[in-house]
Amino acid sequence: MYSLTEIRFSGSVRTSNRGVPAPFFLWYTTAMIFLASDHAGFALKESIRKMLEEMGREVKDMGAFELDPDDDYPDYVLPAARKVAENVKENLGIIFGASGQGEAMAANKVKGIRAAVYYGGPLDIVQLSRKHNDANVLSLGARFVNEEEAKEAVRVWLETEFEGGRHERRMRKIADAER
């Protein structure tokens, strides 16, 4: 398990807690990645959780913990979003549902959350959600992406850093609207 320190916008080499260069896929480091899904995203969440753990990422599963067709995504997504919001500079969330739309809408109700939806198509969408919008939650539409597409989207999302610059000004304006 890696425990890494991130140095944003400094140009410094990122290192692991052992002083060795961190693998590229761990450059955007987090204290924790919080996962949440309802029944529609349950299987995909389980697959992504396993992949993240194999990558050495710290993961906290906020539920669902069993397949229940009568569950409601806000019961899992909102607690996960609140955990991400506790430390928006480090924590991330990945949430799963049928389309990912409702899950993102719920997560975006939490102050400090910037949830982006991906349900297929060019991976530029995922990349730009981090690069330009500093998305801290990725919402995946499990009925529209297969397991391999979702894994690749998560990898791209984790590897992409916020570009800063003119985008910081825009993120401040969004944050101001939350006050």
Question: Which residue in 35, 44, 33 sits closest to 1, CA to CA?
Answer: 33
Sign of the alpha-carbon dihedral angle for 170, 128, 144, 55: negative
Would you call 72 helix, strand, or coil by DSSP?
A: coil
The active-site residue out of 58, 132, 149, 159 is 132
Q: To 10 degrees, the CA torsion angle through 42, 48, 53, 57? A: -110
Contacts of residue 113, Cβ cutoff 8 Å, sequence gap at least 6: 81, 84, 85, 88, 93, 107, 136, 137
Question: Whole-angstrom Cα distance, residue 79 to residue 102?
Answer: 15
> Is the Cβ–Cβ distance between 69 and 128 less than 8 Å?
no
State the amino acid at position 110 in one-letter form.
Answer: V
- Catalytic-residue membership of 167: no
Catalytic residues: 103, 132
